Amino acid sequence: MTVSTGLQIDSVSFSYAVDPVLESIHLAIPQGQFVCLVGASGSGKSTLLRLIAGLQPPTTGRLAWNGQAIAGPGLERGIVFQDYSLFPWMSVVDNIEIAIAKAKPEQPRHERREEAHDCLRHVGLESAIGKYPFELSGGMRQRAAIARALALGSPLLLLDEPFGALDPINRARLQDVLLEIWETSVPRKTIVFVTHDVDEALYLGNRLIILGATPGRVIADLQLEFSRTQDRRDLFESPSFQIKREKVAEILAEDTLRLLLPA
């Protein structure tokens, strides 16, 4: 509560009816961190992301960004969904432009178009500018979704299993696109990335938060310090990476086992 910059989550609980989905979540995420949220299904990791995005209010507790309470969606918190961040009736560039128009209403139209092109170039999508979402592959659609989040200029990026539906090659490519965006952003963007893929979480994040299931709560909070300068395959095979992966798998397995055993 003393930290006023970054994301503050204070004793947040959420329930749809009686059963709690999330129970007393306390987290402080300083600006510039790349946080990965992992957990079994039912751990409420997507729900937590929706609460941060302001799409739903918490049942109890308080969320704040840079000291400002989160009361609804805001342009400072861009979000990328798994497969539906774009409006299918708008071309890719129109999808980006509508975001820019909201983020910078005073900007003249021709500059807006130029900026949309820049955003698309940033994610390697200049070839698909005039296309519609149905004409794009899953990987290209997610590139466009990231470009839209960039267009909003949000200092906090929320991603809900954004690469979950992609094939391994596209997944790896987009992970690197995202890392490059994060590493080159000034000031450094804060990222909260939900995934169920432990390797992905370990590769991307510099902090890993594990949520336990039913009800969702934080069961582990790990600092990650892998050097991404080395080759991805070397990193995955390095002993330090393997040890971390074992540890995460163990924590997740323990939590799943707890559910199967009678109390």
Q: What stretches of the chain adopt beta strand conformation (E)?
A: 7-15, 20-29, 34-39, 60-65, 68-69, 77-80, 156-160, 190-194, 207-212, 217-223
For the segment 137-166, give every residue that binds other proteins (CB under 8 A).
152
- Sheet of 20-29: strand order equals 20-29, 7-15, 60-65, 68-69
Q: How many residues bind other proteins (CB under 8 A)?
A: 24
Q: Does 236 bind other proteins (CB under 8 A)?
A: no
Query: Which C-beta is closer to other proteins: that of 87 or that of 246?
Result: 87
Query: Which C-beta is closer to other proteins: that of 42 or that of 74?
Result: 74
Neighbouring-strand partners of residue 39: 211
The CA distance from 59 to 115, in Å, is: 39
The CA distance from 12 to 169, in Å, is: 37
User: Cβ of residue 72: shortest distance to other proteins, in angstroms?
Assistant: 7
Query: Which C-beta is closer to other proteins: that of 16 or that of 89?
Result: 89
User: Cβ of residue 148: shortest distance to other proteins, in angstroms?
Assistant: 9
Query: Which C-beta is closer to other proteins: that of 134 or that of 169?
Result: 134
For the segment 43-102, give every residue that binds other proteins (CB under 8 A).
53-55, 72-75, 78-79, 81, 84-90, 98-99, 102
Q: Which of 171, 149, 6, 168 is nearest to 78 (CA)?
A: 149
User: Cβ of residue 83: shortest distance to other proteins, in angstroms?
Assistant: 9
**Three-class secondary structure of residue 3 per DSSP:** coil
Strands 190-194 and 34-39: parallel
User: Cβ of residue 217: shortest distance to other proteins, in angstroms?
Assistant: 25
Report yes or no: 215 and 44 within 8 Å, Cβ to Cβ: yes
Q: Which of 209, 224, 222 is nearest to 9 (CA)?
A: 209
Query: Which C-beta is closer to other proteins: that of 88 or that of 130?
Result: 88
User: Cβ of residue 56: shortest distance to other proteins, in angstroms?
Assistant: 10
Residue from 19, 109, 134, 187 binding other proteins (CB under 8 A):
134
Q: Which residue has the tokens 């990222």?
A: 191
**Three-class secondary structure of residue 39 per DSSP:** strand
Residue from 26, 104, 129, 132 binding other proteins (CB under 8 A):
132
Query: Which C-beta is closer to other proteins: that of 85 or that of 175?
Result: 85
Query: Which C-beta is closer to other proteins: that of 75 or that of 249?
Result: 75
User: Cβ of residue 102: shortest distance to other proteins, in angstroms?
Assistant: 5
Binding site for other proteins (CB under 8 A): 53-55, 72-75, 78-79, 81, 84-90, 98-99, 102, 132-134, 152
